[in-house]
Amino acid sequence: MNYVDLTGGGWKTLKLNANLDDSDLALNAGAWTIYKDGNSSPNIILTPIEGGSSFMTAQGYYQTLSIDLDTLVFDIDLEDESQYTIEGIANGKTIYRGKFQTTAKDLADYSVNEGKYTERVTNNNYTILD
């Protein structure tokens, strides 16, 4: 799953495999729709344009979709600690569907289950989580 750090704004990058060939990628083909989980109407609709507020680049077997949070105008701002579904459509076909999580926490120390489990001290070699 991709994680988007909401602090500081600026460019954020999602790593994905959109099954685009080099010619489609060069044209930055496709429209990207972002839905907050539980919503049926899109929060954000992107059409990647090189040098604009979003664009795609090839990274070997996967691609990156870069989004500038400072220049895009969203219907609804991305909320902290929320999950979103992102869907890419090019030439009438779905090229990618996946999820990402937003957070304002430091991604280097981020834990999805932070504070949900406590470790019990036992006399054996096993770790038991409650």
Q: Is the pLDDT of residue 122 over 70?
A: no
Which burial class, exposed, middle or buried, applies to 114 when counting CB atoms under 10 A from its CB (0-12, 13-18, 19+)?
exposed
The single-letter code of the amino acid at 38 is: G
Other C-beta atoms closer than 10 Å to the C-beta of 117 total 11
CA atoms within 13 A on the CB side of 43: 16
Q: pLDDT by residue (tens digit) across 60-108? A: 778 888 887 777 655 567 788 888 998 888 778 888 899 988 888 777 7
Q: What is the pLDDT of residue 15?
A: 86
Q: What is the mean pLDDT of the chain?
A: 76
Cβ distance 99 to 83 under 8 Å? Answer: yes
Range of the domain at 45: 2-129
Q: pLDDT by residue (tens digit) across 36-61? A: 888 888 877 877 665 566 677 777 77
Where residue 13 sits, what CATH number does that domain have? 2.60.40.10
**How many separate domains does the chain show?**
1
Q: What is the pLDDT of residue 119?
A: 63
